[in-house]
Homo-oligomer: A and B are copies of this chain.
């Protein structure tokens, strides 16, 4: 089951399979223990269903890439288990996110809180079942966070590895929480503050999704600070480019491809770089229209088109495209100057091409 490393690139599919097996095994033990103690099977079953419904496992793959970047050999089980813990943590983040947004679906299935509402609806009224679904999802998210810890703690790391990894895990968690906090408090009242928009991008995505998983892998390999810095030189611009592209797709993308309505972000009034740039460069009349329509809960298709025109007319869309291009260039240059093993460099270069 151990993924192989070829000269070309890391075996991403092998890493995904090994991580999935690790998560399955872990949850199977949790299910057996719960059964033995007459505790509800719903908790581990819900997480099992959520984790098997999809997900690209990008954080685990990057964690393993970090391990090899730091000079790690093979991909031993402790490294895979730490990689798996990042996916368990991500389940926590998504489950709570969906409760906060009251989202309906995730990965093509009802969100956890909706599924739990449905499960308990027969015995309760609608309002009570809604509340119970949300509460149960909050608790199951909490369980995922706790179990992400447990996966790290029981990975079989040496004391030196544990001491190197725990501070990074703690930092990553604080960062993503701050990023989310910035995001939810800015949503609904976007401004022209581009610095704030980029702080959300950096904390919520660039550090959480790319930089810290790489760092954690590198720390497991005992790599020096310089390797971590080289990884950041690649990770931060790439992560920012990811999120900026995602923000553009949320407004200009093809719903059939992105899987979500092009009106959601606009109706919520997300404080993205696109929106901040438009607000900055709009003339007074355009400003008025932007302020009237951004965050309007019942925004029509026609109004959505008006906003899209404004993003183009103010030059905001082009500016974001330039930012993405600029960041891709930075990430690529960092990769070229860093002395990563060829398979790692190939894997990281691949990410630069497929995701944009």
CB-based contact A189/B150 at 8 Å: no
Least distance between A235 CB and chain B CB atoms (Å): 17
- A38's partner among B39, B166, B195 (CB-CB below 8 A) is B195
Q: How distant is the Cα of A134 from the Cα of B99 in the complex, in angstroms?
A: 10
Interface bin, chain A: 35 or more
**Taking A99-B138, A174-B143, A181-B139 as contacts, is the C-beta distance between A188 and B128 under 8 angstroms?**
yes
CB-based contact B40/A180 at 8 Å: no
CB-based contact B124/A146 at 8 Å: no
Q: CB-CB < 8 A to A195: which residues of B?
A: 38
Q: CB-CB < 8 A to A252: which residues of B?
A: none
CB-based contact B184/A146 at 8 Å: no
Decide yes or no whether A162 CB sits under 8 A from chain B.
Answer: yes
Q: How distant is the Cα of A328 from the Cα of B205 in the complex, in angstroms?
A: 52
Least distance between A80 CB and chain B CB atoms (Å): 19
Q: CB-CB < 8 A to A203: which residues of B?
A: 39
This chain's copy number in the assembly: 2
CB-based contact A40/B100 at 8 Å: no
Give the most central of A145, A154, A169: most B CB within 10 Å: A145
CB-based contact A143/B177 at 8 Å: yes
CB-based contact B132/A146 at 8 Å: no
- Interface set, chain A 27-54, CB cutoff 8 A to B: 34, 38-40, 42-43
CB-based contact A166/B143 at 8 Å: no
Q: CB-CB < 8 A to A174: which residues of B?
A: 143, 146-147, 150
Give the most central of A136, A159, A181: most B CB within 10 Å: A181
Q: How distant is the Cα of A159 from the Cα of B136 in the complex, in angstroms?
A: 35
Decide yes or no whether A182 CB sits under 8 A from chain B.
Answer: yes
Decide yes or no whether A153 CB sits under 8 A from chain B.
Answer: yes
Least distance between A167 CB and chain B CB atoms (Å): 7
Decide yes or no whether A120 CB sits under 8 A from chain B.
Answer: yes
CB-based contact B40/A182 at 8 Å: yes
Least distance between A163 CB and chain B CB atoms (Å): 8
- A184's partner among B100, B102, B139, B180 (CB-CB below 8 A) is B139
CB-based contact A135/B184 at 8 Å: yes
Decide yes or no whether A321 CB sits under 8 A from chain B.
Answer: no
Least distance between A321 CB and chain B CB atoms (Å): 26
Give the most central of A124, A138, A167: most B CB within 10 Å: A138
- On A, residues with C-beta under 8 Å from B are 34, 38-40, 42-43, 96, 99-100, 102, 120, 123-124, 128, 131-132, 134-136, 138-140, 142-143, 145-147, 149-150, 153-154, 159, 162-163, 166-167, 169-170, 173-174, 177-178, 180-182, 184-185, 188-189, 195, 199, 203
| 28 contacts across the A-B interface (CB closer than 8 A) | A38-B195, A39-B178, A39-B181, A39-B182, A39-B203, A100-B134, A100-B135, A100-B139, A102-B131, A123-B189, A124-B188, A132-B188, A135-B184, A136-B185, A139-B177, A139-B180, A140-B181, A142-B177, A146-B173, A146-B174, A147-B174, A149-B149, A153-B166, A153-B170, A154-B167, A159-B159, A159-B163, A162-B162
